[in-house]
A and B are shown apart, each in its own frame.
Chain A
Amino acid sequence: QPVLTQPPSASASLGASVTLTCTLSSGYSNYKVDWYQQRPGKGPRFVMRVGTGGIVGSKGDGIPDRFSVLGSGLNRYLTIKNIQEEDESDYHCGADHGSGSNFVWVFGGGTKLTVL
């Protein structure tokens, strides 16, 4: 099954841009990844799904146009432009693997985004 790796932290100044990275383990370059935003004390909120061709499907409800994704090789990127205070959150990536009794849904360790 794939392993998803995320840096534990990132920071950006108000109004700036930041790119968060989720890296798939070797051999899983064709996998799609979901990005989630999680504010303190809240459940995860779906942001969007990304493959090597970019966004797959539509963004989650209420996700602003400032959020975009890109996929390249083993990396899946989430870029946030014109960062606002409300973007300060934990960001998780996740991917499905397998089917039936062998199904697993794996997640990265999450990246804590701090808005300076």
Chain B
Amino acid sequence: EVQLVESGGGLVQPGGSLRLSCAASGFTFSSYWMHWVRQAPGKGLVWVSRINSDGSSTSYADSVKGRFTISRDNAKNTLYLQMNSLRAEDTAVYYCARDHKSWGQGTLVTVSS
């Protein structure tokens, strides 16, 4: 069974940093492209970033380009999202997703002073 478990969320001040993790199991992690998608409270889904299977190619939404970095450790079956220069508008539940079909339960990031 495919399992994706996000962690690392929490309360952070504006301008601060946070690193999210997504632990994957139940499939060959190194074979799949992975995504981060976020959802602000009461709002819709917004794609954040994508990384290819070996980590050599990444894409970002314009709203996070230059501030967020996606990476992966295939030996640890783990996906990461390093978030710097956080803003109030980054407040959301962050989900990792495998291709388009499997999603985690999310981790909440709150940016507030």
Contacts and interface: CB of A to CB of B under 8 A. Distances in A.
Given A100-B57, A100-B59, A103-B50, A46 B100 contact: yes
A15 to B, nearest CB: 29
Contact of B46 (A34, A43, A102, A107): A107
B13 to A, nearest CB: 26
B95 A44 contact: yes
Contacts of A92: 44-45
Task: Determine which residue in B37, B45, B97 has the highest number of CB atoms from chain A within 10 A of its CB, and name it.
Answer: B45
Q: Report the interface size class on chain A.
A: 20 to 34
B32 to A, nearest CB: 14
Grouping DSSP codes into helix (H, G, I), strand (E, B) and loop, the B interface class, with mixed when no group exceeds half, is: strand
B85 interface: no
A51 interface: no
Task: Determine which residue in A36, A43, A49, A104 has the highest number of CB atoms from chain B within 10 A of its CB, and name it.
Answer: A43
Nearest to A58: B101
B45 A60 contact: no
Nearest to B47: A105
A101 interface: yes
Interface string B74-113: 0000000000000000000001010011111110000000
Interface string A29-61: 000001010000011111001000000000010
28 contacts: A34-B100, A42-B105, A43-B103, A43-B106, A44-B45, A44-B97, A44-B103, A45-B103, A46-B100, A46-B103, A92-B45, A94-B45, A94-B100, A100-B57, A100-B59, A101-B57, A101-B58, A104-B59, A105-B35, A105-B47, A105-B50, A105-B100, A107-B44, A107-B45, A108-B44, A109-B44, A110-B44, A110-B45
Interface of A: 34, 36, 42-46, 49, 60, 92, 94, 96, 100-110
